[in-house]
Structure 1
Amino acid sequence: MLAIFLQSLSFLLVVLVAYSFKKAGILRSTDGTIIQKIVLNLTLPATIIIGFNAVEVDVLLFIMIGLGLLCNIGLILAGSLFWRKKSFEERSMMMFSQGGFNIGNFTIPFVQGFFPAAIPFIGSFDMGNALMLFGGSPIVVDRLLGQEREESSYIKRALRLFRSPAFTTYVIMLLLALVGLTVPTSITSVVELFASGNAFLSMFMVGLYLEINMDRASLKKITHVLAVRYTLAIPVAVLFYLFLPLPELVKMSLVLVLLAPIGTVATINMIVYGNQRSTSSFLSSISMIVSLVLMTLALTFII
């Protein structure tokens, strides 16, 4: 339990240091884009390789992929019940903020230090999560809002998933596991060097992106959106943990992913659908802080 608190505090410290650097003018928010590219293209794929290497493929991984899809769809549908009389932009914000989990840049870095065995299950959930974030969620939101958008074909949407290095790495490692192949130690020893920097860089990126200046009206809107998100996610996490006939590690993984902050792509979708960039970014930033607290509390009760 002490290790979990220390991990959470160290994450928060890195976020605060990065934010302080930005406020002091040493770094800028735009520098977070550079770090994000390093994380998405290098350290996160390296972490996935280490986490999935030599994993035994069983039905649990495919169950997690399915749950990643179903949780996104279910939470978006639940979110559609709120703000039905609001504007198109606000309704889309509510729905996108309910489905979509920041797993690669937040949940995996959070667990890789003390629960590396959970990464294959969390990563499998993220595969289903990615299928929704990169194409499924906009389709569901458009249907619920009665929109007819000119979109690319389903094949092009599927291919767009492979623009994500993390998703591509998930698929490659899962295929290797299916045929019983593992990455040699001579390679993983080098990959581990890159993976070791993932948690620090991910949290430092969060600190650079963190924004805490917001007018009262926008703050009220964000508070409402986050209240709905966690009011929906927490009971689902509890039900999954108490009643799903799955191994303890898998259920713990489900709790962590359901308490994860709003996904980066979900934030981008909010902006695409007409919401202000400042409001959407602030919503994403605050959800990271809230999720860090909730994930820490959840682990203290579970362990």
Structure 2
Amino acid sequence: MGVVLTQALSFLLVILVAYFFKTKKILEAKDGQTLSKIILNITLPATIIIGFDSVEINSTLLFLISLGLLTNVIGIIVGGFIWRKRKSTDQALMIFSQTGYNIGNFTIPFVQGFFPQAIPFIGSFDTGNALMLFGGTPMLTDQIVGEKHEKKEIKKVILQLFRSPSFTTYIIMILLAILNVTIPVNVLSIVQLFASSNAFLSMFMIGLYLEFTISRSDLKKVAQLLFTRYTTGIILAFIAYFLLPLPELVRLSLVLLVLAPIATVSTINMVVYGNKEALSGFLSSASIIISLILMTAALAFIM
């Protein structure tokens, strides 16, 4: 338990240091964009490569891809039902606040410090998660709110998915595993150098993006959104850990996944569907802090 708390406090410290640098204008929020590019294009793919190397593709990994899809669908159903009588912008806000998990920039860096052997399971789940984030969720949201924001053709969705370096890396590593191809040790040692900085850079970037400015009227709305998301997440976590007939490491990975923060793509979609940037930014920041607390508590309880 001591190791868990130390690691979580270390992550929190990095986030707070970055936020302090931003408040003192040593760095700016826009500097997070540079870090984001480094993470998404270099350190995160490197972490995925290290995690997936020598992994055998089995039914569990395929099942986790389907769970990545299913949990997002559950979020859409919950969000669409709860605020079904509100205006379309509010209903879309509720839906996007309940769906999508920040896995690449938060969950994977968080897991790196405890059990990197869980990364293949988390990556498989994220494959299904990405399919919903970039295609399935916006299409279903359009149907629920009765609006058409963007025509999502299958070809366009596929191209958008493969523009994501992490998704492309998942697919490549899965193919290599199917073909029983392993990466040479000397190459992995170089990749490990890049992967080792992923957790720090991810947490530092989160600190630069943190926003805690919001109106009182929006604060009540955010409280409702987060209460719904994490109530659903805790229920799913109990089901995943105590009811699913899976190895303990897989069940533990699922607990952390369903307690993960709101995905960045989801917060962007909130704005696309007519909601204020300040509200979505605060919602994302609050979600990160709550997830850090809940994921740490879950690990401390289970381990």
Question: TM-score scaled to structure 2, two decimals?
Answer: 0.98
Distance in 1 (alpha carbons) for counterparts of 2:76 and 2:61:
23
Match of residue 182 from structure 2 = 182
What are the equivalent positions in structure 2 for 1:87-126 lying under 5 Å apart? 87-126=87-126
Matched, 1:131 2:131: yes
Tell me how many residue pairs correspond in the alignment. 303
Q: CA deviation at 1:85?
A: 2.3
Match of residue 30 from structure 2 = 30
Match of residue 204 from structure 1 = 204
- The one-letter amino acid of 1:39's match is I
Distance in 2 (alpha carbons) for counterparts of 1:280 and 1:71:
21
Q: 1:11 to 1:163 in 2, by over 3 A?
A: same
Distance in 1 (alpha carbons) for counterparts of 2:284 and 2:149:
25
Match of residue 59 from structure 1 = 59
What are the equivalent positions in structure 2 for 1:1-303 lying under 5 Å apart? 1-303=1-303
Q: Judge conservation of contact 2:54–2:177 (CA < 8 Å) in 1.
A: yes
- The one-letter amino acid of 2:173's match is M
Question: TM-score scaled to structure 1, two decimals?
Answer: 0.98
Give CA-to-partner distance per residue, 1:42-83, whole Å, 9 cap, x none: 100000000000111111100000000000011111111112
- The one-letter amino acid of 2:302's match is I
Distance in 2 (alpha carbons) for counterparts of 1:202 and 1:148:
34
Distance in 2 (alpha carbons) for counterparts of 1:100 and 1:121:
17
Distance in 1 (alpha carbons) for counterparts of 2:166 and 2:56:
20
Where has structure 1 moved over 3 Å in runs of 4 or more?
none
Q: 1:282 to 1:153 in 2, by over 3 A?
A: same
Q: Judge conservation of contact 2:213–2:278 (CA < 8 Å) in 1.
A: no
Distance in 1 (alpha carbons) for counterparts of 2:160 and 2:30:
25
The answer for unaligned runs of 5 or more in structure 2 is: none
Q: CA deviation at 1:149?
A: 4.1
Identity level (%): 58
Give CA-to-partner distance per residue, 1:154-178, whole Å, 9 cap, x none: 1221121000000000000000001
Q: CA deviation at 1:150?
A: 4.4
Distance in 1 (alpha carbons) for counterparts of 2:150 and 2:220:
33
The answer for unaligned runs of 5 or more in structure 1 is: none
